[in-house]
Homo-oligomer: A and B are copies of this chain.
Amino acid sequence: MPSLESYKSGLDYSYAPGIFPSMECLTYRPEKVRRLLVHSSAAGREGTEKLCALAENYRIRIEEADKALSRISGKENCYAAAVFEKFEDELKEDASHIVLHNPGDFGNVGTILRTALGLGIEDVALVRPCADVFDPKTVRASMGAMFRLRIRVYDRFEEYREQFPERKLYPFMLDASVPLREAVKDKPEAWTLVFGNEGHGLPAEFARMGQAVRIESNDKVDSLNLGIAAAIGLYEFMK
């Protein structure tokens, strides 16, 4: 492995910045971890000790790398980062899914991953162009939740559709006629919620691919934030 670079989407590896995200990475994707970077000032701290013990257990190389850490995180207080190989999963056939179509914001994607895991959805698809799910900013916003999820990035939505042709889709659209609380009444066992881009939502043709849903909100705001909409949708569907 060459010397560590600042993160770029073209790299085949990335960084989980922070003690907690690194711990999630080492715990749930140990086979993907290439090295563990720790900051010299973090030696002896409880979190660091646990992290290092875990790394030693898996015979993962531990490196003091103050400069690399500040380069990766852009913040001073990044005490550790796991360097991990990017991965691609198969989504589970009989589980419910969430599909993010062209999400643009790292923070939104990370927050949605964390929310999904917390509410019990473990299969997430993204459709390009989209915020890089492996960018350290996304990993940080997800608090490492991404390492416990099955994640797959598709070039086109049709590829997802071909892989799961039978399942009922619920595209979330501002102009849908069916409100969320109605839509959940006849939901099948495994469903897929689809959310569009922050600025322009989903293309109109999604309305014909499934049961379009809108979240009951008033016209005093343009729309809800993407992460908020996804959370409300997931919460209602998981009840």
**A231 interface neighbour in B20, B221, B222, B232, Cβ under 8 Å:** B232
**B239–A118 touching, CB < 8 Å:** no
Which residues of B lie under 8 Å from residue A217 when comparing CB positions?
Answer: 118-120
Candidates B117, B222, B232, B239; contact of A143 at CB < 8 Å: B222
Instruction: Please list the 9 inter-chain residue pairs (A to B) with the smallest Cβ-Cβ separation, ordered nearest first.
Output: A118-B221, A118-B217, A228-B231, A232-B235, A117-B220, A115-B228, A118-B224, A111-B225, A117-B221
In the complex formed, the residue of B with least CB distance to A221 is: B118
Give Cα A221 to B28, complex, Å.
Answer: 13
Once bound together, how far apart are the Cα atoms of A181 and B107, in whole Å? 28
Chain B residue numbers with a CB within 8 Å of A224 are 114-115, 118, 231
* A114 surroundings in chain B (CB, below 8 A): 221, 224-225
CB < 8 Å neighbour of A220 from B118, B181, B235, B238: B118
Chain B residues near A111: list those with CB within 8 A.
Answer: 225, 227-228
Q: How far is the CA of A171 from the CA of B23 in the complex (A)?
A: 31
Contacts of A221 in B (CB 8 A): 114, 117-118, 143, 145
Q: Shortest CB–CB separation between residue A151 and chain B, in angstroms?
A: 15
Assess whether A148 is interfacial by the CB under 8 Å rule. Answer: yes
A-B contact pairs, 19 of them (CB 8 A): A107-B107, A111-B227, A114-B221, A114-B224, A115-B225, A117-B218, A117-B221, A118-B218, A118-B221, A118-B223, A118-B224, A120-B217, A143-B221, A143-B222, A225-B227, A228-B228, A232-B232, A232-B235, A235-B236
**Among B117, B218, B227, B232, contact of A120 (Cβ-Cβ < 8 Å):** B218
Interface centre among A117, A148, A225, A239 (most CB of B within 10 A): A225
Instruction: Beyond the given A231-B231, A231-B232, please list 13 additional residue pairs across the A-B interface where CB-CB is below 8 A.
Output: A115-B225, A117-B218, A120-B217, A143-B221, A143-B222, A145-B220, A145-B221, A148-B220, A181-B239, A224-B231, A228-B228, A228-B231, A232-B235
Of A107, A222, A224, A228, most buried by chain B (CB within 10 Å of CB) is A228
- For A139-175 the 0/1 string (1 means CB < 8 A from B) is 0000101001000000000000000000000000000
Least Cβ–Cβ distance between A213 and chain B, in angstroms: 13
Distance between A193 CB and nearest chain B CB, rounded to angstroms: 15
